[in-house]
């Protein structure tokens, strides 16, 4: 690890970006510094970057203190424009991606087990984390990023370029629990919520062969849900839904980042069923233990996925023709996009065209 006192001696490059300057001010056009390419580094010219709800939570301080200014964005696709002398996994011109992680300790039990997303010493997030040189990592709302090669993914050519970006968070966040809990033929899977995460969960669950049900507050997105592969679609605002579906599902994926009646949904699980929370509400979600005991149910949570699992997800999506539904925007529309995300006014993921970032 390089000491922070050495930062000033390290050469850097200046690139265009958008950054948050406070929890309440709009994001602004600016420049940020990227480290020069080291022996194991890859320089990526970013083409597209997705807007994740996590970006908004972070810049608004919902998940803890933030060191401003901060450039967010962890759904990144682009082209390799330079590689370090010891890089073996990527070449200049490769189409690549970067997700939520840019490093980990590589030494703890979880990292050695290939689960660096759960690094016991704290992984290095793509933005807002202390990087290996002591600086704060800056994310993908920018024209370039430098990442150690082991955390750079290969993006299959068959995935539409601009639509590939949200796979690096929304894709892996839904794929990981579906794969871990063995969604597939003979399994009944429910997806709570039909937003940026939920629509990906439906597509992936369907492609895995599971009987897939959407549980959404209303039926306003029913046509979309069925088109994405859902077999059934129910409105949770209708109390009859919870009576009809009691003891039904093997797996429930909760994608919403808001407080819900956890016990009400747990009662929809059959014997040995599991409800997995992948949304990140700021409120506490209380659970009655008896609800778990009564059908040997489990209430679990997952983060993203490992680098290996993320590559598996990209290859799976390429094989099955899966891509997010996106709305492509220019950089000067980022602040409007944030407000629309908060108002649930997007179907289903915003992606920024980084060619529209102001030139330095």
Helix (H, G, I), strand (E, B) or coil at 88: coil
Residue with tokens 């980042």: 257
CA–CA distance, 201 with 180 (Å, rounded to integer): 13
Instruction: Give the pLDDT of residue 277.
Output: 96
| CA 55 to centroid of chain Cα atoms | 10
pLDDT digits (tens, 9 = 90+) for 49-82: 999 999 999 999 988 899 999 999 999 999 999 9
pLDDT digits (tens, 9 = 90+) for 129-155: 998 788 999 999 999 999 999 999 999
| Confidence category of residue 8, pLDDT binned at 50, 70, 90 | very low
Neighbours of 154 (CB within 10 A): 14
Q: Tell me what the mean pLDDT of segment 84-106 comes to.
A: 97
The helices-and-strands tally (H runs, E runs) of the chain is 11, 17
pLDDT digits (tens, 9 = 90+) for 172-194: 999 999 999 999 999 999 999 99
Residue 114 has pLDDT above 80, yes or no: yes
Q: Tell me what the mean pLDDT of segment 244-264 comes to.
A: 95
Q: Tell me what the mean pLDDT of segment 153-174 comes to.
A: 97
Percent of the chain with pLDDT over 90: 91
Helix (H, G, I), strand (E, B) or coil at 125: strand
Q: Tell me what the mean pLDDT of segment 230-254 comes to.
A: 97
**Strands ordered across the beta sheet of 269-277:** 232-235, 211-216, 188-192, 249-254, 269-277, 298-301
CA–CA distance, 230 with 249 (Å, rounded to integer): 14
Instruction: Give the pLDDT of residue 10.
Output: 53
Instruction: Give the pLDDT of residue 281.
Output: 79
Residue 9 has pLDDT above 80, yes or no: no
Backbone torsion region of residue 124, taken as left when φ is above 0, otherwise alpha when ψ lies between -120 and 50, otherwise beta: beta
Helix (H, G, I), strand (E, B) or coil at 25: coil
Taking the CA atoms of 25, 26, 29 and 31 in sequence, report the sign of the dihedral they define: positive
In Å, how far are 10, 23, 122, 130, 136 from 5, measured between CA atoms? 10, 28, 22, 14, 14
Residue 235 has pLDDT above 90, yes or no: yes
The DSSP annotation for 93-123 comes to T-EEEE-SEEE--S-SHHHHTT-GGG-TT--
**Do residues 192 and 177 touch, judged by C-beta distance below 8 A?**
no
Residue with tokens 């690139």: 15
Average pLDDT over all residues of the chain: 94
CA–CA distance, 286 with 294 (Å, rounded to integer): 17
**Length of the chain, in residues:** 360
Structure tokens at 290: 């008896």
């Amino acid at each position: 690890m390089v000491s922070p006192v050495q930062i000033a001696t390290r050469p850097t490059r200046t690139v265009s970006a958008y950054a948050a300057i406070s929890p309440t001010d709009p994001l602004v056009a600016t420049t940020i510094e990227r480290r020069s390419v080291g022996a194991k580094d890859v320089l990526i010219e970013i083409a597209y970057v997705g807007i994740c709800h996590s970006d908004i939570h972070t810049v608004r301080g919902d998940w803890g203190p933030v060191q401003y200014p901060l450039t967010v964005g962890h759904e990144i696709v682009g082209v390799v424009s330079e590689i370090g002398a010891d890089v073996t996994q990527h070449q200049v011109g490769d189409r690549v991606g970067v997700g939520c992680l840019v490093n980990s300790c590589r030494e703890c039990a979880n990292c050695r087990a290939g689960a660096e997303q759960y690094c016991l010493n704290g992984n290095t997030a793509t933005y807002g984390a202390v990087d290996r040189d002591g600086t704060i990592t800056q994310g993908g709302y920018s024209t370039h990023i430098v990442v150690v090669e082991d955390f750079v993914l290969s993006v299959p050519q068959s995935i539409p370029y601009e639509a590939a970006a949200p796979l690096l968070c929304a894709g892996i966040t839904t794929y990981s629990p579906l794969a871990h809990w063995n969604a597939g033929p003979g399994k009944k899977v429910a997806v709570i919520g039909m937003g940026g995460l939920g629509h990906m969960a439906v597509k992936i669950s369907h492609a895995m062969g599971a009987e897939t049900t959407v549980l959404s507050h209303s039926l306003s997105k029913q046509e979309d849900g069925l088109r994405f592969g859902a077999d059934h679609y129910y409105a949770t605002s209708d109390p009859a839904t919870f009576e009809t579906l009691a003891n039904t599902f093997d797996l429930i994926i909760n994608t919403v980042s808001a407080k819900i009646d956890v016990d009400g949904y747990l009662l929809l699980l059959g014997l040995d069923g599991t409800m997995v929370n992948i949304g990140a509400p700021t409120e506490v979600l209380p659970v009655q233990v008896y609800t778990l005991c009564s059908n040997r149910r489990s209430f679990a949570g997952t983060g993203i996925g490992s680098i290996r699992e993320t590559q598996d997800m990209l290859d799976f999506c390429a094989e099955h023709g899966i891509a997010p539904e996106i709305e492509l925007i220019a950089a000067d529309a980022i602040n409007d996009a944030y407000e629309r995300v908060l108002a649930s006014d997007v179907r289903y993921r915003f992606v920024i065209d980084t060619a529209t970032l102001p030139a330095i």
